[in-house]
Amino acid sequence: MRLIHAYLVILDISGYTHFITQRTVSLLHAEQIITELMETVIDLAEHPLQVNKLEGDAALLYREWVPGEADVAKSIFEQVNAFFPAFYACLARQRENRANCTCEACTNIDNLALKAFVHAGEIAVKQVRQFEELAGEDVILIHRLLKNHVAARDYVLMTEAARAGALLSMETLQKHREELEGVGETHLWLTDSTQMRTLFDGL
């Protein structure tokens, strides 16, 4: 087992559970839609972030990081930023390809949205055969971010550690507070995918 500093990212496709019914065709199409979206996003995730694990409609990614390496942290945010247009391009493609299907999954495709969560901290990396398992309080913390009160459809929610590591300007981000289970009141930063682009124009 290794203890390392790392950036952790969770990509979460939401809107899925709302339109799933028991009907087999709908469920099958919903799975296909999500899989294709997930693959599109993951195809982009070779560098610097690596996919560690798929968790249903979500993916956990990480990158080892030495505190102070702001350039690496910025490249991680650039990668996160690039997931959004790829996701929505894939969504548009699937909407077109599935225009003839009247099932609930295909007709509600526009309910799907992408959310990204970013945190930086210390994690334990455990090698189990060919798999790397990530553990530690910071891994738990990033998962807690998924249960939040953000009203936006698609967004990037990050911790102060993630923001500070990349030296992102506070003025370009929205303050957000969340009472996290087992963690307590936590100050976070929020940005939507459009704001993300302006954020990076200034880098």
The residue type of 144 is: R
Give SS3 for 37. Answer: helix
CB of 15 to Zn ion, least distance (A): 15
Closest by Cα among 139, 137, 129 to 61: 139
Size of site (CB under 5 A) for Zn ion = 4
Q: Is 20 in the site for Zn ion (CB under 5 A)?
A: no
CB of 33 to Zn ion, least distance (A): 8
Q: Is 158 in the site for Zn ion (CB under 5 A)?
A: no
DSSP assignment, residue 109?
Answer: G
Q: Which stretch binds Zn ion (CB under 5 A): 12-20, 44-52, 82-90, 102-110?
A: 102-110
DSSP assignment, residue 136?
Answer: S
Q: Is 109 in the site for Zn ion (CB under 5 A)?
A: no
Q: Is 112 in the site for Zn ion (CB under 5 A)?
A: no
Q: Is 33 in the site for Zn ion (CB under 5 A)?
A: no
Q: Tell me which residue has tokens 């990212």.
A: 9
Cis peptide before 48 (omega within 30 of 0): yes
Nearer to Zn ion by C-beta: 49 or 109? 109
